[in-house]
Structure 1
């Protein structure tokens, strides 16, 4: 079972696509810099850790403006 659940995560962001994009970017960043904002994550994979950070409200994002 996914932790945190998709239902909880959908309350944090506006769409599944935004959730995937933010989590993937943060996971890549964690791989490169070897940093994480949660001290004792439940997940051991980078994407899972990114989802936990989103759930805790530690990540902010801005929507790009349409041209």
Structure 2
């Protein structure tokens, strides 16, 4: 079974696995509380999966300049 989005594809957007996990877990909590999803028709039904789909689509990112 292949999980989407793949870790390789996500790491093209955010290089650090630690940052990726932290960002997606924080966003998952926001989604659970506010339900303000930024992607249309997510494949995942779980909040973490939805957050990772936002990363993949470029809607959720880290400003590495700061």
Regarding TM over 0.5, the answer is yes
- Please show how residues 13-52 of structure 1 align to structure 2 within 5 Å: 13-52=14-53
Figure out how many residues of one structure are paired with residues of the other and give that number.
64
Does the aligned pair in 1 maintain the 2:39–2:54 contact within 8 Å? yes
Larger Rg: 1
In structure 2, the gaps of 5 or more residues are: none
The SS at the match of 1:41 is coil
Scaled by the length of structure 2, the TM-score of the pair is 0.88
Aligned counterpart, 1:59: 60
In structure 1, the gaps of 5 or more residues are: none
- Deviations 1:13-47, CA, capped at 9 Å, x for gaps: 12100110010010000001011011100000000
Aligned counterpart, 1:2: 3
Distance across 2 between alignment mates of 1:61 and 1:11: 12
Distance across 2 between alignment mates of 1:12 and 1:46: 19
Question: Post-superposition, which runs of at least 4 consecutive aligned residues in structure 1 deviate over 3 A?
Answer: none
What RMSD in Å do the two structures reach over aligned CA positions?
1.3
